[in-house]
Amino acid sequence: MATRDNPVRKLADSLQVLADTVNSDNPHIKVSDLVQFCRISYTAIFYFGITVKFPDLDPQTKVDHFLEASKKYDTIQDLVESEIKNGTARDKGSPCRTLARFRRVIDLAREVLEKILASGSSVIEYSSNGKLLHPAIIQDLEFYFAEY
């Protein structure tokens, strides 16, 4: 049985919070909820072998940008509307720009996971065949997915 301290469980719980918000009567994701998801997921995304990296800055710095934005904006919608109104949405280092990049990473992760599901393989089987990950990461994956 999975414990709440398991990284995969934490990722699933964080995704559930976002999904519950999106599917609610008030589907406006709080910036603080996005920060929580990013903190949990940015490392997990790279465990899946995705070679996407944020240019210039490491993912933790991008998460820190969201953390700073969460002090000023309550929801993602507030953030986007304000940056568009102020003409800063396309500026380097803008939380909107970071949000767009993070969205692309999530989309790529979804595609990879859909391919794994379609193949009928587990992440470990898929990666051990050289289709997804460098072999050095497989041992770490076995730890993270051991309870699943």
Distances 29 to 18, 19, 68, 73 between C-alpha atoms, Å: 7, 9, 16, 11
Cβ atoms of 102 and 31 closer than 8 Å? no
Predicted structure pTM score: 0.61
Other Cβ atoms closer than 10 A to 70: 19
pLDDT band at residue 86 using 50, 70 and 90 as cut-offs: very high
Contact yes or no for 137/47 (Cβ under 8 A)? yes
Q: Label residue 146 by pLDDT band (50, 70, 90).
A: very low
54-83: pLDDT as tens digits: 433 466 777 888 888 889 999 989 999 999
Look at 1 and 64; give whichever has higher pLDDT.
Answer: 64
Q: Is 84 helix (H, G, I), strand (E, B) or coil?
A: helix
Domain ranges for the chain: 7-144
Residue bearing tokens 């995704």: 15
- Measure the CA–CA gap between 20 and 139, rounded to whole angstroms: 33
∠ CA 118-59-110, rounded to 5°: 15
Q: What is the mean pLDDT of the chain?
A: 72
* Predicted pLDDT at 51: 43
Check if CATH label 1.10.3520.10 holds for domain 7-144: yes
